[in-house]
Amino acid sequence: MRIEIWADVVCGWAHIGKRRLEKALASWEGEPVEVVWRPYQIDPSAPARAVPMAQVLLDPVADEALRTCSPGLSPAENRERVAEVAAAEGLGPQWGSEWRASTLEAHRLIALAYEKGGAELQDRVVERVLRAHFVDFQDISDLAVLTAIAAEADLAEEAGYTGEPDPARQTLPGAELVRELLLVGKAKGVRTSPTIVVGDLALEGAQPPETIREFLEEASRHAPRRLPAEVERLRRAESLLDQRDPLGALTLLRPLVAEHGDDRGVRLLAARAYFASAQLNRARAALESLVAESPDDSYARHLLGRTLQRQGRHEEAASHLTLAAVMTPDYA
């Protein structure tokens, strides 16, 4: 059974949740489990250069953002409360966050750890990153800090932390993977850190070990049928489109378009995403092809009409919109 932890490494509850999951698994007698960490960002607007948390707490905009993580409590009160819980979980009396830091680079290192060494190596890297942030009070957006962690895990070369950067390389290893995983989490409905996901079931927050065990027992009894990877990707792209993230949907669709470009479902979803992201020429080209192949597809014809309408081609649009309405009166 695969247990996914969608979490941000600057989230105190993620550190607490890790300890509680470990306690829940210590006496687990069910099927073998694999714990995989997935990226989530509680503060995606964090600056590339970290800012001391004391300074952040003086910013009214940041104060308001932090309050959403702790309804009913001020950021200072929430920090004190989380520190008390962390101490009770054995994370140490000197525990807390001193930096508002971007976590994209830390997530990249964590993702690469799983790619290279599986769950065991990834767990060690996650533990080291969490300790650096909450116990050693280090800036985990600092490349020097991450390089040291990568070196300990024999990941420095894989992460691109050795030698001179290659100017021809557009992105560092794992960066695209992290961007895609963030979209997958959004498509799955992950909305807080940490969220434990097993199959189609999710448990939000750093719940007590007993609650986690009950969740895992339920998940093991209701293992969903695994869908082909292509079907899962298509569904996640559709979820993003439903959440009004057409560019995210197109990102997930990219490999499907490349490998299954003749599939009508893939093409229609891509056309919808093009339309929703105002890429009207691409939407029109895709929809004209779909309508030519299936003139009785009222939805494709209706969307083509709307696309032409938005392009100011009203006469062409009217014929498609009229035909679509005749076939499906709801489009009238």
Determine whether 302 is exposed, middle or buried from the number of CB atoms within 10 Å of its CB (0-12, 13-18, 19+): buried
From CA 46, how far away is CA 8, in angstroms rounded? Answer: 12
* Burial of 57 (C-beta count, 10 Å sphere; 0-12/13-18/19+): middle
Let me know the angle formed at the C-alpha of 175 by 4 and 7, rounded to the nearest 5 degrees.
Answer: 30
CA 50, distance to chain mean position in Å, is: 22
Which run of H or of E encompasses 128? helix 104-134
Q: How many residues does the chain have?
A: 332
**What class has domain 229-331?**
mainly alpha
pLDDT of 164 reads 60
Output the pTM of the full model.
0.90
Write out the E strands in the chain. Answer: 2-7, 34-39, 51-52, 99-100, 195-198, 201-204
Q: What is the pLDDT of residue 144?
A: 94
Q: Given this model, what pLDDT does residue 79 score? A: 75
Domain boundaries, the chain: 2-221, 229-331
What is the C-alpha separation between 122 and 153, in angstroms, rounded?
9
pLDDT in tens, the chain (332 residues): 999 999 999 999 999 999 999 999 998 998 899 999 999 999 898 888 899 988 877 766 665 555 555 556 666 677 788 889 999 999 988 898 899 999 999 999 999 999 999 999 999 999 999 999 999 999 999 999 999 999 999 999 999 988 665 544 457 899 999 999 999 999 999 999 999 999 989 999 999 999 999 999 999 988 777 889 999 999 999 999 999 999 999 999 999 999 999 999 999 999 999 999 999 999 999 999 999 999 999 999 999 999 999 999 999 999 999 999 999 999 98
DSSP secondary structure code for residue 280 in this structure: H
For 130, the enclosing helix (H) or strand (E) is helix 104-134
* Residue 163 three-state SS: coil
Give the pLDDT confidence score for residue 224 in this predicted structure.
73
Q: What are the start-end ranges of the H helices in 189-331?
A: 209-221, 229-242, 246-259, 264-276, 280-293, 298-310, 314-327
CATH code, 2-221: 3.40.30.10
